Amino acid sequence: MNRLQLKDLYSGFRDPDTIKALAWAINDETKKLKEPLKIMEVCGGHTHTIMKYGLKQLLPSNIDFIHGPGCPVCIMPKERIDHAIALAQIPDSILLTLGDMIRVPGSKSSLALERAKGYDIRALYSPLDALKIAEENPDKKVIFFAIGFETTTPMTAAVLEQMVKRGITNLYFHINHVLVPPAVDAIMADGQAKINAFIGPAHVSVITGAKIYKSLPEKYATPVVVSGFEPVDVMQSILMIVKQKNEHRADMEIQYSRSVTLDGNTKAQKMIEKFMKPREHFRWRGIGDIPLSALELREEYAAYDAEKIFADILPTEPIDDHKLCICGTILKGLAKPNDCKVFGTACTPNTPMGSCMVSSEGACNAYYRYGEI
């Protein structure tokens, strides 16, 4: 019995010869395409893969990528980043968040700059660390600024579960978890981006199941292929999309079959539902308000809800981006990073004007790091 090695799960899906073979098959199949393909890869991680492995260089010119809003740090409007800063400035507090949030610019400052001033702000590698920090600092208000799409939301829920179990009372949550399908619907409703196919997120789908995309082909007559993150996965997904187009189909297909099922991780889904519910309104950078596109803590957990407990210090006014920053337009799929006047000049990962440049899932960051040759 040919047993799989762990390294096969990496090298097998990055194999150069396989990438070449898929490129060859795509180029062959694309000859029959009637119209140019504009594929939106929803997820920032897929943008990253496409840029890092230079996949566009292997594809014919009638396949173009439209970068989607799948970067949970990028889509947060400045006022919510200011929330994080305001929470960090509460006396006797410890502000915790996941890595990328630290350097994102708010309206006047960033968590990194505030940390340099002496506020206790820590980047966690796992939300689980919040429990330990809360227990070790019983006299502090420990606030976890939770970000992420559906992949990361269950982890926050698991921490909430542990918190209740362990009777921790000094841990608060500021929930900024967002959902993929409403964002995709909002971009399609906008209508400008002219998308005619989707590469669906990999790990969001592991949690939610591919079932959440079933309505997309019906609504928009577009193929949706749920793809893994490795270059072979993305290339195979593109091949599957081209084939669908040539066969005049618009179906939801799973390329990432080794990890994605139709139903997903129901235990994780139930844990999310236990603690969180969709919130009526949430402003997305560039896109504006999308109803029911984000989550908040349920009423029975109001005692841990930082947005309620610390409401009096949280800013409420929406704040727009810098005039020259076109993050919002890029997130809607209407521009590419190199269309931006300040890309690479005033705006760089060290001096970011918008979060798309500083977040490692951001399109601008991917373009800057891997450069267009």
Partner 1 sequence: MKQIQLSHGGGGEETNSLIHDLFYRYFGNDILIAAEDAAVLEVKNKIAFTTDSFTVSPIFFNGGNIGKLAISGTVNDLAMMGAKPLYLSSAFMIEEGFSFDELETIVKTMAEELKHSGAKIVCGDTKVVPKGAVDQIFINTSGIGEIEKEGISANNLHEGDVIIVSGDVGRHGAAILMEREGLGITGDIQSDCATLWPAVQALIDSNITISALRDATRGGLSAVLNEWAGQSKVCLEIEEASVPVDEAVQGICELFGFEAFDFANEGTFIIAVPQHHAMLAIQALQDIDVTSNATIIGRVTMKKEGKVILHSLYGSSRYLDLPKGELLPRIC
Partner 2 sequence: MCLSIPSKIVEIDEDNMATVDTMGIKRMVSLDLMPDVVDIGDYILIHVGFAMSKIDEAEALQSLEVYQEMLEAMEEEERRQVIETDDNCDSRGKV
Binding residues (CB under 8 A) for partner 1: these are: 10, 16-17, 19-20, 23, 51-55, 57-58, 72, 98-100, 102-103, 123-126, 129, 147-149, 151-152, 348-350, 360-361, 368-371, 373
Residues 192-221 that bind partner 2 (CB under 8 A): 201-204, 206-207
Q: Measured from the CB of residue 86, what is the shortest distance to partner 2 in angstroms?
A: 25
Sign of CA dihedral 108, 111, 112, 114: positive
Residues 104-143 that bind partner 2 (CB under 8 A): 125-129
140, 92 Cβ separation under 8 angstroms:
yes
Q: Which two tokens stand for residue 193?
A: 């981006």
Of partner 2, partner 1, none, which one sits near residue 109, judging by CB under 5 to 8 A according to partner kind? Answer: none
User: Which residue type does 74 have?
Assistant: C
Torsion angle in degrees (nearest 10) through CA of 318, 84, 112, 275: -130
Residue with tokens 């899906």: 13
Binding of partner 2 by 20 (CB under 8 A): yes
In eight-state DSSP terms, residue 361 is T
Q: Measured from the CB of residue 214, what is the shortest distance to partner 1 in angstroms?
A: 24
Q: Which of 8, 64, 247, 372 binds partner 2 (CB under 8 A)?
A: 8
Count of residues binding partner 2 (CB under 8 A)? 57
Q: Measured from the CB of residue 229, what is the shortest distance to partner 1 in angstroms?
A: 11
Q: Which is nearer to partner 2, 178 or 325 (CB)?
A: 178
Please tell me the distance from the alpha carbon of residue 142 to that of residue 135, in angstroms, as a whole number: 9
Write the interaction track for partner 2 spanning residues 37-66; mark x where CB under 8 A is met and - where it is not.
-----xxxxx--------------------
Burial of 10 (0-12, 13-18, 19+ CB in 10 A): exposed
Q: Which two tokens stand for residue 96?
A: 């915790």
DSSP reduced 3-state for 6:
helix
Q: Which of 107, 265, 329, 348 binds partner 2 (CB under 8 A)?
A: 265
Residues 138-197 that bind partner 2 (CB under 8 A): 148-149, 151-152, 154-155, 158, 161-162
Please tell me the distance from the alpha carbon of residue 232 to that of residue 298, in angstroms, as a whole number: 41
Of partner 1, partner 2, none, which one sits near residue 368, judging by CB under 5 to 8 A according to partner kind? Answer: partner 1
Stretch that binds partner 2, among 168-176, 213-221, 252-260, 284-292 (CB under 8 A): 252-260
Binding of partner 2 by 9 (CB under 8 A): yes
Burial of 109 (0-12, 13-18, 19+ CB in 10 A): middle
Closest C-alpha among 135, 136, 133 to residue 144: 133
Q: Which is nearer to partner 2, 173 or 310 (CB)?
A: 173
Of partner 2, partner 1, none, which one sits near residue 40, judging by CB under 5 to 8 A according to partner kind? Answer: none
Q: Which is nearer to partner 1, 16 or 291 (CB)?
A: 16
86, 313 Cβ separation under 8 angstroms:
yes
Q: Which of 26, 59, 98, 197 binds partner 2 (CB under 8 A)?
A: 98
165, 196 Cβ separation under 8 angstroms:
no
Binding of partner 2 by 4 (CB under 8 A): yes
Please tell me the distance from the alpha carbon of residue 366 to that of residue 363, in angstroms, as a whole number: 5
Q: Which two tokens stand for residue 305?
A: 């809800």
Q: Which two tokens stand for residue 198?
A: 């989707």
In a 13 Å sphere around the CA of 174, the CA atoms on its Cβ side amount to 26
Residues forming the site for partner 2 (CB under 8 A):
2-4, 6-10, 12-13, 15, 17-18, 20-22, 24-25, 42-46, 70-72, 98, 125-129, 148-149, 151-152, 154-155, 158, 161-162, 201-204, 206-207, 232, 257-259, 265-268, 271, 361
